[in-house]
Amino acid sequence: MLDLTLDDIARIIGGTLVLGDHAVELGVSESTIVGGAVDTDSREIVPGGIFVAKPGEFSDGHLYVPAAIESGAELVIVERVLDDLTVPQIVVADSVQALGDLATEVVRRIRELGLLKVVGITGSNGKTTTKNLVRTILERRGPTIAPRDSFNNEVGAPLTMLKLEADTKYLVAEMGASKPGEITRLVRMARPDVGVVLMVGLAHAGEFGGIEKTLQTKTEMVTDLLPTDVAVLNIDDYRVAGMAEKTRASVLWFGLDARADVRASALQSTPTGTTFTLSLPTGQSRQVNFGVLGEHHVMNALAAAAVAHTLEVPLDDIVEALESVTRAEHWRMEVLPGTQGITIINDAYNASPDSMLAGLKTLAQISGEGIRRVAVLGEMSELGEFSLEEHDRIGRTIVRLGIERIFVVGEGARALHLAATHEGSWDGESAFFDTADEAYAVLEGELRSGDVVLVKSSNSAGLRFLGDRLGERFA
């Protein structure tokens, strides 16, 4: 983080600075400068850091203030005065709000230096993959900050912004939301020069209250953009395409549609990735050998290429960076090839109807002599009233795709198993298991050389660990 005085920080976040007798004895004053890494996790605090005590659903960050100080925190931001601390504390009404206010000011000050460009990315699916691709392209051209994992909410996004330094050239901000207004808040913190919307689907539809509420929330990415900014929009998604009418920014289209400014054509899917021709609005085109499995990830590559083009990255550099990426992220279409001829595709970090269908289509496209396709599936969470209908639809689709063997794990996905069974033309095509351990015991004995296994579920179902376990067993 930028160096700031304690008094500066207190003023920025609207808090009360409490130095404490011990800190005063050590010469700490209102003008003392701090600038270490900011975190809400005491386990991540490093010497010189700032710890934000955030009340949580299951625990209270104030309980971990001593641990943060022991790890080297030089300042704590709290919602109530804590006794006997050896470091100064700033007391605020809302520590999450304070975190956002601090991030907003840090971004503003670094922007004033004239070097920083900010990219904001949202969408129902693909945010993390696209963020990783954009980071891979941009970090070759200058210091780049991007979130780890899926740090894209009201806490994770500002924590990423607070990693900015005076020489940072690019900030890639992933922006998610669980309710309307959250993306607006993040956009106003970061003030993107480039705002990306990937797609609008049923992911988290249960939380939002339906697809129209999801659309309204994702549109928040572009409504605050300025005329000098660029909205990078998916022309193949009619809901996203409609956002062009909601923004003052210029629009750069990406997609497979012939009208797209940044377009992919001549797609060829293989078990190791996708080959496609990338075309830019300059008239240039190049073949890309993209090592991330699944044609649906080509859309993420196009979005990343569009961002890079907007930021004046040459086509050759874009292609070289895209071809250097071999996986989207840990647990996202992660290919774990085995020495016994068994391939595990672990894609169980998140699942929505759109991403589940995309993963299954990728599995269906993998063919060859001796190859048997196996789907190990768990619940798609956060669908609310749409859950039964969507699990039923996916179960029937699996059979229609011709996937030979289906393992369904967990009560939340039972409707998927029942639908596959009703749709199937023979008994035993789909098997149901209450737990991942039960599924593993059968898989361990049944898998054979040539099998390609897709493991897919929402994070809450925990099948990512089953995927890892299968990878270790057959590696």
CATH number, position 35: 3.40.1390.10
| 307 and 433 belong to one structural domain | no
Mean pLDDT of 22-40: 91
Separation CA 158–CA 52 (nearest Å)? 12
The DSSP line for 238-294 is: HHHHGGGGG-SSEEEEEESSTT-SEEEEEEEEETTEEEEEEE-TTS-EEEEEE-SSS
pLDDT at 112: 95
Among 434, 475, 439, 438, smallest CA distance to 455 is for 439
| 80 and 117 belong to one structural domain | no
Mean pLDDT of 114-140: 94
Residue 174 in domain: yes
pLDDT at 70: 96
Alpha-carbon separation of residue 217 from 19, 127, 141, 251, 385 (angstroms): 41, 15, 32, 19, 19
Residue 101 in domain: no
3-state secondary structure of 306: helix
3-state secondary structure of 48: coil
Instruction: Judge whether residue 104 has pLDDT over 70.
Output: yes
| 285 and 157 belong to one structural domain | yes
pLDDT at 426: 54
pLDDT digits (tens, 9 = 90+) for 190-239: 999 999 999 997 655 555 567 788 899 999 999 999 999 999 999 999 99
Mean pLDDT of 345-351: 88
| 210 and 145 belong to one structural domain | yes
Mean pLDDT of 391-400: 93
The residue range of the domain holding 81 is 4-94
pLDDT at 207: 57
For 76, the enclosing helix (H) or strand (E) is strand 75-78
The contacts found for 54-60 with CB under 8 angstroms, 24 or more apart, are 54/95, 54/96, 54/99, 54/155, 55/79, 55/95
pLDDT at 36: 92
| 312 and 365 belong to one structural domain | no
413 touches 353 (CB < 8 A):
no
Residue 102 in domain: no
Share of the chain above pLDDT 90, in %: 74
Q: Mark which of 301, 324, 347 sits at the end of a domain.
A: 324
Indicate the pLDDT class of residue 394, thresholds 50, 70 and 90: very high
| 169 and 278 belong to one structural domain | yes
Q: Mark which of 324, 347, 381 sits at the end of a domain.
A: 324
Residue 411 in domain: yes
Residue 100 in domain: no
Give the chain's end-to-end CA distance (angstroms, integer): 42
Q: Mark which of 263, 293, 324 sits at the end of a domain.
A: 324
Mean pLDDT of 264-286: 92
Residue 105 in domain: no
Instruction: Judge whether residue 353 has pLDDT over 80.
Output: yes
Separation CA 175–CA 157 (nearest Å)? 7
| 279 and 148 belong to one structural domain | yes
Instruction: Judge whether residue 168 has pLDDT over 60.
Output: yes
Annotated binding-site positions: 123-129
Residue 279 in domain: yes
Indicate the pLDDT class of residue 349, thresholds 50, 70 and 90: confident
Number of domains in the chain: 3
pLDDT at 224: 92
Indicate the pLDDT class of residue 93, thresholds 50, 70 and 90: very high
Mean pLDDT of the chain: 92
Locate tokens 């900014």: which residue? 229
| 283 and 222 belong to one structural domain | yes
Instruction: Judge whether residue 339 has pLDDT over 80.
Output: no
| 178 and 54 belong to one structural domain | no
Instruction: Judge whether residue 383 has pLDDT over 60.
Output: yes
| 371 and 392 belong to one structural domain | yes
pLDDT at 14: 97
Mean pLDDT of 4-32: 93
pLDDT digits (tens, 9 = 90+) for 415-439: 999 999 988 755 678 999 999 999 9
| 118 and 142 belong to one structural domain | yes
Report the CATH number that the domain containing residue 423 is assigned in CATH.
3.90.190.20
Indicate the pLDDT class of residue 169, thresholds 50, 70 and 90: very high
Annotated binding-site positions for ATP: 123-129
Instruction: Judge whether residue 7 has pLDDT over 60.
Output: yes
471 touches 336 (CB < 8 A):
yes
Residue 354 in domain: yes
124 touches 207 (CB < 8 A):
no
Report the CATH number that the domain containing residue 272 is assigned in CATH.
3.40.1190.10
pLDDT at 202: 63
Instruction: Look up residue 5 and give its two tokens.
Output: 């005085």
pLDDT at 23: 86
Indicate the pLDDT class of residue 242, thresholds 50, 70 and 90: very high
| 446 and 422 belong to one structural domain | yes
